[in-house]
Structure 1
């Protein structure tokens, strides 16, 4: 077998593989004999089918399979042994001639390779980005406290609607003249007042009592959220038609979630028995929780800014035509229009991946299995806590994590996340970080 490479330019090359009968005949004949021993055919005893008969019937397909196996191994080994940095996967050349697939043929195959460009992106103290320190202001603390107290509160049915309540009512669709729309929407459902965005309509709902009727209620303007309107009106999720008409609203009941009292029972439910005993300690705990969440938000913002900044520095050329062809082969359902519209984002991400890989190599940054395992464990723990307040035991969580990482796609995703974090942590020690304090509400406006 002979393998050669010819560079057509700095980003593309052709690998040519020549296979002679001496390369494949022994392996093909062995497979034919093995098949003969296993095959069951009418007129022959099991295991006694003549190899010549198997060769006549199935020889060509066995030859094709063996040649394909040899090709794949040969090209991959050649790339690894010669340390060729490629993008995507080798692609058979589109203009290769067809073969007769005779047992004495000499085969010549050509593969296109897309080569990784030289990465010359450097970072230093001259590169400056803002690192925000988000402050827990009184408004944010009060909002978080209210949310937690309501989460542990109890449901009541007050006499009069107040801001934040839920109206359980009957909604009947109307014609433009105010009459009932025949065979129109007629549902009894819930409307949360915090979902009402129109201030005038919200004001008209506050003060209503059970049994009160609004003869003409503009629900669509009140909510102004298509997904929520579909849910409120109980419409079919597939191709829903949201009416522009108004509704007759009859209040059937009023639901209110009362905030939990700031007492020891509440503190124990939230933090464990006697961990917190005073309102001051409660506020300190909530502040600590918020500060931790905000530090994560600030880090995410810095990571996004660093990616944007670094991507703009990474302008190295790519083998675009090769990559587009490879993407079409790897994603057969993607049409040309989708490919062209999404290629720039793909290329941007690929360039940044090349930058990350260079940093990992130059700085000798390693990723160990324990790094991947621990991050996967954290992600799964957070996911389980979304659905159950009862945390899993360490043993259970460990079992789920090991099982999760057995899936190659899951393992690769977490690996990439670990790599991104390690590169991010390194770059934070290299570039200049302009640290700025900012209120939470102001920070939200930056997103």
Structure 2
């Protein structure tokens, strides 16, 4: 047996595997004997089928399968032994058109195309500089959070006349351009939050209404999101696009208003526990602290994205694009040509970043351990339990059991592995480069690119 590879250029190569009968026949003979022991054929006792009969009836199929296994194993071993950093998987060369007799005496020569990872230097050093933002709550964000907290602990009232922010309990009836009822049209009674109405003119028309008042609105102008329209009309999301006409007569049945809670000791105690906060000043400071702790994640995501973009921009390499497109088609036979072209640029970006991550891990001896993946799985499960079952907590033993079950799913395990790898690379780069801390208010942070 002879196996070798030839570089076509820096990113494309061909691996050639030459097989003589003595290379593969021992394995073929072994497979035929195993088949003979297992075969259940008419006229023969179980396990007593002659190997000559198996060779005559099934020999070519066995030969074909074993040759493929042998070639695949040898190519994979050759790639590992020669430390070839390949992209995708080896593909049979398109011009490899040899015809064989498959008679156990053939000399085979198989050619496989491979895509090689481009060579580059890791783009991050001790001299690399990034800004690490410390996000402060601006006045508008702070007041919005305080308002939401006060409304959460407020009480419902039923004023006579609606104001902005009220909830109108109303009947919505589909009408034509002249305001006449449409026979068989949509009729539904629902709660309409005025502060969720996107169109300013329509929103203004819902202020100053009282019970039994009527107003005609264009529901598609009132709400930008199909899901919101579907909720108000009690229809399916996919039915919104074909909704015609979109004019509805809104008749107020009741005006509901959520009065904000008073800034008093009872309110503070409900939020933070008895006696922890005693003044409005302390309350505002506590809310600011809460908001800014949540914004830490936004700052982290910004830094991660800046590092990602810097890496992509700094590494200038070529990829074996023709090979990669062929490989993507081979592994995704249902993909259409326009879909492949449309997503190929993003595929190359992700591939480039994956190579950068892998290079950082390899050069610096970083390792993703099972315990780290298990720990992340437990964190994700605990967060889900908290989200869907507030107040309920699982024991560490239960979380471990759930996590092991989750990781038994290969797709989920790979996703969590990639998350841990990304975090490990981020932490390493963050510790390597120079970080300049900069305070910025949240509204200004949102304006950053």
Normalization by structure 1: what TM-score? 0.90
CA distance in 2, matches of 1:401, 1:195: 39
Summarize deviations over 1:231-254 as a string: whole Å, max 9, x none. Answer: 322333335413344221112233
State the 1:290 CA deviation. 1.8
1:433 is matched with 435
Which is worse superposed, 86-95 or 196-205?
196-205
SS in 1 for 2:8: strand
State the Cα distance separating 1:258 from its structure 2 match. 4.7
CA distance in 2, matches of 1:270, 1:55: 80
- Take 1:394 and 1:286, find their aligned partners in 2: how far apart are those partners? 31
Which deviates further from its counterpart, 407-416 or 234-243? 234-243
User: Residues 21, 269 of structure 1: CA spacing in aligned structure 2 closer, same or farther, 3 A cutoff?
Assistant: farther
SS of corresponding position for 2:447: helix
Which residue number in structure 1 is paired with residue 359 of structure 2? 358
Partner residue in 2 for 1:212: 213
Give matches, 1:15-414, under 5 Å.
15-96=15-96, 97-124=98-125, 126-151=127-152, 157-214=158-215, 216-238=216-238, 240=240, 241-259=242-260, 274=274, 276=276, 278=278, 282-390=283-391, 391-414=393-416
Counterparts of 2:286 and 2:404, CA distance in 1:
33
The number of residues matched between the two structures is: 445
> C-alpha distance in 1, partners of 2:85/2:364?
19
Q: In structure 2, how many angstroms separate the alpha carbons of the residues matched to 1:258 and 1:189?
A: 20
Distance (Å, rounded) in 1 between the aligned partners of 2:165 and 2:222: 15
Task: Kindly indicate whether the alpha-carbon contact (under 8 Å) linking 1:230 and 1:242 is maintained by their aligned counterparts in 2.
Answer: no
Cα shift at 1:166: 2.3
Q: 1:439 to 1:161 in 2, by over 3 A?
A: same
Question: Does the 8 A contact of 2:170 with 2:251 survive in 1?
Answer: yes
Q: Which whole-Å deviations, capped at 9, do the CAs of 1:284-311 have from their partners, x for residues lacking one?
A: 4433332221111011011112211221
Cα RMSD of the aligned pairs, angstroms, is: 2.5
Partner of 1:445: 447
Alignment partners' CA distance in 2, 1:343 and 1:416: 21
Q: Match of 1:146, SS?
A: helix
Q: Distance in 1 between matches of 2:350 and 2:174?
A: 50
Say if 1:157 and 1:99 are closer, same or farther in 2 by CA, change over 3 A. Answer: farther
d(CA) in 2 for partners of 1:59 and 1:259? 83
The superposition leaves residues 167-221 of structure 1 with CA deviations (integer Å, 9 ceiling, x where unpaired) of 222111222222222322222223221211223322321232232222x223332
Q: Deviations over 1:115-151 (max 9, x none)?
A: 1111124334554333221112343223223324444
Q: How far, CA to CA, are the matches of 1:162 and 1:60 in structure 2? A: 83
Contact 1:156 1:255 in 2 (8 A): yes
Any stretches of 5+ residues in structure 1 without a counterpart? none
C-alpha contact (below 8 Å) 1:176/1:245 kept by paired residues: no
**2:417 maps to which residue?**
415
Deviation of 1:255 after TM superposition, in Å, equals 3.8
C-alpha contact 2:226 2:237 (8 A) present in aligned 1 = no
Worse-matched range after superposition: 197-206 or 169-178: 197-206
Which digits, 9 at most, give the CA deviation of each residue in 1:296-327, with x for residues without a partner?
A: 10110111122112211111111111111111
CA shift in 2, pair 1:24/1:270, >3 Å: farther
SS in 2 for 1:9: coil
Deviates more, 1:17-26 or 1:158-167: 158-167
Conserved 8 A contact 1:141-1:287: yes
Q: Is residue 229–residue 242 contact of structure 1 (8 Å, CA) maintained in 2?
A: no
From the superposition, tell whether residues 58 and 184 of structure 1 become closer, same or farther in structure 2 (CA, over 3 Å): same
- Relative distance call for 1:64 and 1:156 in structure 2 (3 A) is farther
Q: Against the structure 1 CA distance between its residues 62 and 275, is the aligned structure 2 distance closer, same or farther, given a 3 Å change threshold?
A: farther
Deviation at 1:436, TM superposition (A): 2.3
Residue 71 of structure 1: CA displacement? 1.4
Instruction: Report deviation, 1:357.
Output: 1.8
Q: Give unpaired runs (5+ residues) of structure 2.
A: none
Kept in 2, the 8 Å contact 1:187–1:233? The answer is yes
What TM-score do you get using the length of structure 2 for normalisation? 0.90
Query: How big is each residue's C-alpha offset from its partner over 1:364-386, in whole Å with a ceiling of 9 and x where there is no partner?
Result: 22322232222232233223322
Structure 1 residues 99, 192: closer, same or farther in 2, change over 3 A? farther
SS in structure 2 of the partner of residue 293 of structure 1: helix
Residues 175 and 245, structure 2, Cα contact 8 Å, conserved in 1:
no
Task: Give distance in 2, aligned partners of 1:256 and 1:98.
Answer: 82
> Which deviations, in whole Å up to 9, do the C-alpha atoms of 1:421-442 show, x marking residues without a partner?
2222232334333432211122
